[in-house]
Amino acid sequence: MMWRIRAFERAAEAGLANGHVAGAVHMSIGQEAVAAGVSAHLIKADVIASTHRGHGHSIAKGADLHGMMLELYGRAGGSCGGKGGSMHIADFDVGMLGANGVVGAGLPIAVGAAQGLRLLGRNAIAVCYFGDGAANRGPFLESLNWAAVFRLPVLFVCEDNSWSATTRTATMSAGPGIAARAESLGVPAVSIDGNDVEAVDETAGRLIADIRAGGGPRLLHARTYRLKGHTVTDPAPYRPAEEVAARWEDDPIARNAAELKALGLDEDEIAAIEIAETRRIAEAVAAALAAPFPETAAAFDDVQDVGRPAPGAERGLAHPLPAEHAA
Amino acid sequence: MSGFTYIEGARRALAEELERDPRVWALGEDLGRGGVFKQYDGLQARFGETRVVDTPISEATIMGAAVGAALVGSRPVVEMRFSDFALCAVDELVNQAAKNRFMFGGQGRVPLVVRQPIGVWRSSGAQHSQSLESWWVHIPGLVVTAPATPADAYALLKAAIRCDDPVVHLEHKALWPLSGAAPESDAPAELGRAAIRRPGRDVTIVAWSAAVHEALEAARLAAMEGVEAEVIDLRSLWPWDADCVLSSVARTRRLIVAQEAVRDAGFGAEIVATVTEALGDRLEAKPVRLGAPRIPVGYSAPLEAAYRVGPDNIARAITGMAA
Ligand SMILES: Cc1ncc(C[n+]2csc(CCOP(=O)(O)OP(=O)(O)O)c2C)c(N)n1
């Protein structure tokens, strides 16, 4: 799974470089272990709310890769019909309720989804991914409080990559940290090394079991690192090169490869995983390149049914005179 | 009068929808105690704490949670207490509720209703009196309703709850006790259809919410001077019934828009612009927009009065225009 996410994002990076992918693309290279470890414990009926950095969450939840790639390429048939792009990637068929362009906005959506699932009698949970920077926005406090008050089945997953865009989050955050904030609101929290996929897997499994057993919300604080810039086009000059170099040593995929090796897999077997995932993604890219763009009329769809915009109304009169008065 | 009030209309509409559809639920602050204006009175006792939910004072999360809950298939009715407090939840309403369906290519729907009590009421001051309809009408994806009568408080709320798009439902606080005819049936209103509250041949007045009553009073005053004004109650602001307005102005050739909200950059400007685009060369007078000056609402009675348009101003505009 981690390899698949990495291959997808490498392809997104290349697509941006050659001009086929547009807009803001936020990559999670270096953070793949979090999504992979958490999703291992989710069923299809569970829902997730994601961040602006949502490719990994989406892929790990089982989103259709071809649909995602078409979406990045802005093509018809993309998972959002070309209306979302990277920052609004979503796949409702597998419970991926969307990446979000507004930091922290997924938190209340996830608690509401959990409440809705309960009201409708569905036996499923909600997972909310958010960044360390988002924990400084009001919705973090409101949503954790809310989830605790209603004992909702929600797992909050903080992907703490140390950075909020170009600012070191620690310089902007008071107090002893995110887990402590959660605990202060009565939400049990665990901090772990988020680059250790085994640790994520084990801890998420335990927390999700507690939630499914009716224990109420839990928070997983996963320390990781964003190995690339904030967006694909950000060279991240604000970070010391030594810091980045040191963190590449801790790349979760390399770490996992080493662990697999220690378990007895040979180099070829590990390389085969990587090759298979790269090939799978290359197929999605080829399909995206071959696909048509959406018709412009699609821009008028899915806005609203009641009072929907009329294609063509943007030119000429917004409202023509009713026939009997059109003298 | 039958004694069917605006507040009763709202309460009955919600109760019937809660009864009809198990996916409908309401959430907001103090609903268990009936809500700020008692518009939820008795509903929690009847439908339980999971269908009529008391929430923390967390407007952003009330709205955001409703978005999430709607996305998984329930139909939340959100209470904002005062329209002014919906400003604490603007991201959730504008960037999430209104955009979700579009930006995810139609994968999810957000059938929520946001009830926002609006308007000047009993010296409530600058932060409890606003009418912000033009903010919401401006946002693609939102439906905006504003009942002026008890029957519409009932029928429009029902329509809002059954609507699959997110609806901002504006209820005027000064109208809660207003009594009027009970609706003839339990059917929801048709969204986007205006009502002619008073027919007239000389001037068309377009209004909504409480301003409808001021326009009716002004029309009565003007009639004593021999000028017959037609009063149109828009009922819903998006979609709005341009056909009804254009047909009326095509006859009267004169237009006044009367709104309680601040006039500048208000929804009235949209109506005037639309009518001018379609009928500009047939008008016999320049259209007039009446609304509040661009000031916050003052507390003290004369200051509050300086904000309101009121029937006298409207009546003067009518007779002035017909002269
Ligand atoms: C409400 C809001 N404020 C600011 C931004 C701009 N912005 C986008 S991502 C980001 C940093 C977020 O940091 P964090 O939550 O730690 O997530 P990360 O990018 O590190 O994954 C900022 C400031 C935004 N999208 N939304």
Rounded to the nearest 10 degrees, the angle between the axes of helix B6-20 and helix B150-162 is 30
Provide the 8-state DSSP code for B92: I
What ipTM was predicted for this assembly?
0.94
Contacts for A169-173: CB closer than 8 Å, 24+ residues apart: A169/A132, A169/A133, A169/A136, A172/A133, A172/A136, A173/A132, A173/A135, A173/A136
Q: Is the pLDDT of residue B198 over 80?
A: yes
Residue among B74, B95, B101, B104 with most chain A CBs within 10 A, to mutate: B104
Asked whether the beta carbons of A233 and A32 are under 8 A apart, the reply is no
Question: pLDDT tens digits, residue range A25-41?
Answer: 999 999 999 999 999 99
Q: Work out the average pLDDT over B78-106.
A: 98
Cα R_g (chain B), whole angstroms: 19
Q: Is the pLDDT of residue B232 over 80?
A: yes
Q: What region, left, alpha or beta, does residue B170 occupy, with left being phi > 0 and alpha being psi -120 to 50 degrees?
A: beta
Sheet strands side by side (includes B143-145): B52-54, B24-28, B75-79, B113-118, B167-172, B143-145, B236-238
Residue nearest to atom 22 of ligand 1 (CA): A165
Q: Work out the average pLDDT over B44-66.
A: 98
Q: Is the pLDDT of residue A315 over 90?
A: no
Q: Is the pLDDT of residue A126 over 60?
A: yes
Ligand 1 center–CA A165 separation, angstroms: 6
* CB of A136 sitting under 6 A from ligand 1: no
Q: Work out the average pLDDT over B231-254.
A: 97
Residue among A75, A302, A308 with most chain B CBs within 10 A, to mutate: A302
* Burial degree of B303 (CB within 10 A; 0-12, 13-18, 19+): middle
With cut-offs at 50, 70 and 90, classify the pLDDT of residue B64: very high
A99 interfacial to chain B (CB closer than 8 Å): no
Place of tokens 């208000």: B266
Q: What are phi and psi of A106, to 5 degrees?
A: -70, -20
**Selection from B227, B217, B224, B230 nearest residue B314 by Cα:** B217
Residues B110, B116: Cα–Cα separation, whole Å: 17
Question: pLDDT tens digits, residue range B23-44?
Answer: 999 999 999 999 999 999 999 9
* CB of A101 sitting under 6 A from ligand 1: yes
Q: Work out the average pLDDT over A171-186.
A: 97
Helix, strand, coil % over all residues of chain A, rounded to 5: 45, 10, 45
Q: Is the pLDDT of residue A89 over 80?
A: yes
Which residues lie closer than 8 Å to A122 by C-beta, 6 or more apart?
Answer: A45, B72
Asked whether the beta carbons of B192 and A306 are under 8 A apart, the reply is yes
DSSP class per residue in B191-224: TT--EEEE--SSEEEEE-TTHHHHHHHHHHHHHH
Q: Is the pLDDT of residue B2 over 60?
A: no
Of all residues in chain A, what percent carry a pLDDT higher than 70? 98
Could A306 and B143 be called an inter-chain contact, meaning their C-beta atoms sit closer than 8 Å?
yes
With cut-offs at 50, 70 and 90, classify the pLDDT of residue A317: confident
A322 interfacial to chain B (CB closer than 8 Å): yes
A311 interfacial to chain B (CB closer than 8 Å): no
Q: How many CB atoms lie within 10 A of CB A46?
A: 24
Looking at the complex, report in whole angstroms how far the Cα of residue A49 sits from the nearest Cα belonging to chain B: 9
Question: pLDDT tens digits, residue range B302-311?
Answer: 999 999 999 9
pLDDT at A319: 82
Assess whether B138 carries a catalytic annotation.
Answer: no
DSSP count for chain A of H helices, then E strands: 11, 7
pLDDT at A326: 76
pLDDT at B119: 97
Ligand 1 center–CA A285 separation, angstroms: 28
Residues A276, A255: Cα–Cα separation, whole Å: 19
Of all residues in chain B, what percent carry a pLDDT higher than 70? 99
Question: pLDDT tens digits, residue range B170-188?
Answer: 999 999 999 999 999 999 9
Ligand 1 center–CA B112 separation, angstroms: 27
In chain B, which residues have their Cβ closer than 8 Å to the Cβ of A81?
A: 105-106
Reduce the DSSP state of residue A126 to 3 states and report it.
Answer: strand
Q: Is the pLDDT of residue A54 over 50?
A: yes
Q: Is the pLDDT of residue B274 over 60?
A: yes
* Burial degree of B71 (CB within 10 A; 0-12, 13-18, 19+): buried
Q: Work out the average pLDDT over B121-144.
A: 96
Q: Which residue has the higher pLDDT, A315 or B90?
A: B90
With cut-offs at 50, 70 and 90, classify the pLDDT of residue A324: confident
Could B72 and A78 be called an inter-chain contact, meaning their C-beta atoms sit closer than 8 Å?
no
Q: Is the pLDDT of residue B5 over 70?
A: yes
Looking at the complex, report in whole angstroms how far the Cα of residue B282 sits from the nearest Cα belonging to chain A: 10
Question: pLDDT tens digits, residue range A262-281?
Answer: 999 999 999 999 999 999 99
Q: Work out the average pLDDT over A241-261.
A: 95
In chain B, which residues have their Cβ closer than 8 Å to the Cβ of A92?
A: 71, 104, 107-108
Question: pLDDT tens digits, residue range B286-299?
Answer: 999 999 999 999 99
pTM for the whole structure:
0.95
Residue nearest to atom 5 of ligand 1 (CA): A103
In chain B, which residues have their Cβ closer than 8 Å to the Cβ of A314?
A: none
Q: Return the best residue to mutate from A27, A103, A238 for the ligand 1 pocket (most ligand atoms within 8 A of CB).
A: A103
With cut-offs at 50, 70 and 90, classify the pLDDT of residue B1: very low
Ligand 1 center–CA A39 separation, angstroms: 23
Could B105 and A112 be called an inter-chain contact, meaning their C-beta atoms sit closer than 8 Å?
no
Reported as half-sphere exposure (CB side, CA atoms, 13 A), residue A235 has a value of 2
Asked whether the beta carbons of A164 and A234 are under 8 A apart, the reply is no
